[in-house]
A and B are shown apart, each in its own frame.
Chain A
């Protein structure tokens, strides 16, 4: 047993200078130095030509292909087609309706994404019930209250992509939770139905579901009977994604300790109270990354509606690139498509991280 105090050590050196940071992170060993140099070389090869093509030599203003200089990107093509890429074939005079639906979604639904604020419950309920009806009225019209009908085959572009994604997300989430609960149910019929549903929809490719719904279904229906193509696609997307959500949520349910169930039952809560107040809030919080993962996949999967002839954002860009007046600018079109998809997916991803942080109560390292 020693009685001397241990000699005090210097605190670990923390270097804040850029050179020090680089020495520690990029050149800490011979092997790391080599890797760093190789990476820098590859970046040097790739980045300058891309910047030169996309910005320095690019053409931004004009009206036709003659306004574009060779060697650089021709963003004129995107600018000329901008409104078509956004609204598809929606009649120009009525496009304010799409804008209004979008603005309403942001102003009405947007606040729900943020921290608590007064009347959040009122806001949330009115949005969930009211917004779909109003959005349907604005976008489709249906000749109600003086709104002319815009048939869904005139919908297109980014607007259609967002409609499919939003309906898919809003429909798949509650349905998925129900099937997740159903699969863990002790009632054999509910359990069997849930398992059958989930396994069926997870076992078939989305593209074949869309194909069946669009092309094969009319074969079985009587002549003249015809569902709206978009509605068929929406139902297919919702059912398909619900199966994935169900499995993600089930993963969360399994992570909740048995004690939580027992405690809830000991308090005298019935099944729905137990699930709604105790289990689901914890389970859903746990699986936020998985849910957002599914939603991001759903957002990108919307481009599969190409197979049933709906002109979504990607399809509309593709069809524009084969216009003889603009042949040869496919690269610009696809780069633009990629950028827009990325912005939306990255946005969802960042929101999910923010949500995780906000809801985090424990389990932190």
Chain B
């Protein structure tokens, strides 16, 4: 009899465990218990994730993870980086090896809906296919490329986008395909083609590798949508919101002119938006289990979005990527954050 009750109890417990949805805050609880965030980054992409001379993981993707650690722990160094290849990145996230995948991953519908992971609508970098031309050509816009010879990597979606773009604009082109992106860049350098097409972030990296980088310019047009952002597992709303709002806080900070340098003075600001952001008047972090000064710590230790961008891929880095689509919405870009209220 006793045994039966015990069995029933165990059975009931098992059923509950099986039926109960993923506990809200499961990932967040694990992170807090562990004392560090496990962050999956790229195995190597200039400006996004690489190792510097002191052995520190750098890049805009790595800095985003630091911002998360600053928000959760008030210490940007409480991150463990795991370099991941493109093949294993999603499995690593799904299996719980990492808490967040911050690895130049394109946000698409199929990835967002059907693969056991979600994008917290935080686009850290709006990438897209662009064009790199020799300045000698005197071209200012992709619309002037009628009749051009185009160097391209074979068998990529880049090839299809290119065909669509030229057809839509009723222009002609001659493709020269290469197997590797480095080879196609050499093709442009050797003068075999007038223009090289690839994702913009790649074009800037290819430009540095050329003998005379200043001779080449990236055209302003972007002909495909590659929004790159962090990914998390579904089921933990606290963690999902932390990832999303950490990015937004960095955007809002830039919009309001709050930087790593002036954030302490800004605490005395009379601007109500700044005061809400820095947790002076109200505690917005509480609802998702973050300390009151979460945004302050992010800005203090990592900086606002513009600072992170310029340091890793923009003017402060050898890549010298233009803000372009990644400018704030107030400056003609796409980076827009809902208000903290």
Contact = CB atoms under 8 A, between A and B. Distances in A.
B69 to A, nearest CB: 16
A53 interface: no
A67 to B, nearest CB: 14
Nearest to A151: B80
Given A80-B53, A216-B91, A328-B209, A322 B83 contact: no
Contact of A327 (B51, B80, B83, B205): B205
B264 interface: no
Interface stretch (B3-11, B42-50, B106-114): B42-50
Contacts of B84: 309
A324 B47 contact: yes
Interface stretch (A17-25, A217-225, A286-294): A217-225
Contact of B208 (A214, A215, A328): A328
Interface string B81-110: 011110110011011110000000000000
Given A224-B30, A324-B318, A84 B95 contact: no
Interface residues of A, number: 32
Nearest to A220: B95
Given A211-B88, A323-B46, A84 B51 contact: yes
B265 interface: no
B228 interface: no
B319 interface: yes
Interface centre among B49, B51, B85 (most CB of A within 10 A): B51
A311 interface: yes
Contacts of A307: 85, 87-88
A70 B51 contact: no
A215 B91 contact: yes
A314 to B, nearest CB: 11
B317 interface: yes
B44 A319 contact: yes
B19 interface: no
A325 interface: yes
Contacts of A176: none
B83 A89 contact: no
Contacts of A306: 43, 85
Contact of B51 (A214, A215, A308, A319): A319
A307 B52 CA distance: 21
A71 to B, nearest CB: 9
B44 A318 contact: yes
A320 interface: yes
B55 A84 contact: yes
A214 B87 CA distance: 13
A153 B80 contact: yes
B146 to A, nearest CB: 32
Given A88-B55, A318-B44, A319-B51, A311 B83 contact: yes
- Place the interface of chain B in its size category: 35 or more
Nearest to B34: A224
A327 B46 contact: yes
A322 B30 contact: no
A324 B208 contact: yes
Nearest to B55: A89
B211 interface: yes
B81 to A, nearest CB: 9
A219 B95 contact: yes
A194 interface: no
Interface in A303-335: 306-309, 311, 315-316, 318-325, 327-328
B278 to A, nearest CB: 32
A319 B50 contact: yes
B43 A70 contact: no
Contacts of B49: 322
Contact of A218 (B40, B88, B97, B208): B97
A215 B43 contact: no
B46 A324 contact: yes
Interface string A10-39: 000000000000000000000000000000
A323 to B, nearest CB: 5
Interface string A83-95: 0100011000000
A216 B95 contact: yes
A81 interface: yes
A289 B26 CA distance: 53
Nearest to A316: B51
A8 B184 CA distance: 72
B211 A321 contact: no
A89 B30 CA distance: 25
A126 B97 CA distance: 39
The interface centre, meaning the residue of B46, B55, B87 with most chain A CB atoms within 10 A of its CB, is: B55
Name the residue among A70, A309, A320, A325 with the largest chain B CB count within 10 angstroms.
A309
Interface of A: 70, 80-81, 84, 88-89, 153, 211, 214-216, 218-219, 223-224, 306-309, 311, 315-316, 318-325, 327-328
Interface of B: 26, 30, 33, 40, 43-47, 49-53, 55, 58, 80, 82-85, 87-88, 91-92, 94-97, 205, 208-209, 211, 313, 317-319
Given A214-B97, A215-B92, 9 more contacts: A214-B88, A215-B91, A308-B88, A321-B44, A322-B50, A323-B52, A325-B53, A327-B205, A327-B209
14 contacts: A88-B55, A89-B55, A211-B91, A215-B88, A218-B96, A219-B94, A223-B30, A223-B96, A224-B30, A309-B43, A322-B44, A323-B46, A324-B319, A325-B52
Q: Which 4 A-B pairs have the closest CB atoms?
A: A328-B209, A322-B44, A324-B318, A309-B82
